[in-house]
Amino acid sequence: MKVLKNLMHARAGREIRRRRVLIALAVATLAVTAITASAQAPAPKRTVIRAGRVLNVRTGELKTNQAIVIEGDKIAQIAPSSEIKAAAGDTTIDLPDATLLPGLIDMHTHLTFDLNSLGYQGLSISTAREALHGALNARRTLEAGFTTVRNLGAKDYADIALRDAINDGDVIGPRIVASGPAMGITGGHCDENLLPPAFHFQGGGVADGVEAVQHRVRETIKYGADVIKICATGGVLSKGDDPNASQYTLEEMKAIVADAHRLGRKVAAHAHGAEGVRWASEAGVDSVEHGHLMDDAAIATLKKNGTYLVPTLFLTEYMQQNMEHSDVPEYSKQKMRWIAGAAQQNVKKAFDAGVKVAFGTDAAVYPHGLNAGEFHVYVKLGMTPLAAIQTATINASDLLGPKYLVGTLEAGKWADVIAVDGDPTKDVTTLEHVKFVMKAGAVYKNDYGKR
């Protein structure tokens, strides 16, 4: 019996040693394979852009005869052109008469919507059709110089599908930070209020009460949201609600923010009325969208808490000029006339008070691709052209967070580069005529190459 036990132990020992050898061989094989693959992997594609001028959006300095070296999807170096020598295999882009600046960022878009989808006509548009609208609008937005956008509200997660299609290379468009369905109260701005009671229909983001809003935040993140959009007050293009009236309570918004932040998502709050702005800021949201009916106390609250304001002002000018000839429902026209009269005056007070501002347009309320019209309104209200540019670059990047390598032309940032004629720090309307667009090292527009 003792001999048998010794024999069994010996066999077990040999089996253990054999398995260890096999594991060691497997690990060694994987290591050699990885080293070989690494050795054989081609170096990132190198592109050199030689430009007449490059704008430092932090300082406003405009350097001449500069070169930007791009390796793969990131900026590797910026230096005087004379210091950058071409290497074999480089792609060189010569823009001797252009001014380069970072790709612009729009922090409030609705790519899957158009103006005709926001009233009764919108009830006939399927989610699939809205996603296809989004593909067209995404391309227009990118070609307008906006390489990153935050999409704040879409039906049935259509914006998340669009984001993924762009990331996979199926569709051309900007980098999208998507919210999915905007959260709101029953009957509020982010509900669907056009159908009669027999349908018992609610918008996809509707939730009432602390437990319900916590569940909705988690569900929205589950299905892919990068950011949480909530409606703190009524709106303009919705039926039956008041832009001046608060919707979510302070307690509900605190619960939303707590869960979103714990799960790594920022919160953007649609808010026109003063009380809703104050409550949203006190609840800890990262940005307040619009703020068109703010009072002095609301502005002071934004300043105290360091809450970003995303003003969306160009839409008021556009709608004043075009609304009467549009298909916008009369209930929305009445609210727009009221809002438009107060919006710029109240937002100017926020500018003067030093509230942090990030660029946003609410594109869909007017045609996509006209996003840069927002800049001249900021300048009209007292910003310098450079400060206006900063709202769509370094400020917007700060609001997005460090995960997104955007907002400046610096080594290590994503190679998002646009070009315009002239000096945008003297005439900000030049940004309405972007002639060159690169996103993540790939060129999507080059009107200079057509000469």
- Give the whole-angstrom CA distance, residue 127 versus residue 320: 29
Tokens of 65: 């005869």
Q: Are 41 and 54 in contact (CB under 8 A)?
A: no
Which residues participate in catalysis according to the annotation?
229, 362
**181-to-22, 98, 207 alpha-carbon distances in Å:** 52, 40, 11
Burial class (CB in 10 A: 0-12, 13-18, 19+), 12: exposed
Q: Are 349 and 291 in contact (CB under 8 A)?
A: no
Q: In 10 A of CB 258, how many CB atoms?
A: 15
**382-to-212, 344, 376, 385 alpha-carbon distances in Å:** 42, 11, 10, 9
Which residue type does 71 have?
Answer: E
**55-to-365, 382, 440 alpha-carbon distances in Å:** 31, 21, 18
325 phi/psi in degrees, rounded to 5: -105, 10
- Give the whole-angstrom CA distance, residue 348 versus residue 445: 35
- Give the whole-angstrom CA distance, residue 448 versus residue 135: 25
**9-to-6, 13, 15, 21 alpha-carbon distances in Å:** 5, 6, 10, 18
- CB under 8 Å to 303, separation ≥6 — which residues? 353, 354, 355
- CB under 8 Å to 222, separation ≥6 — which residues? none
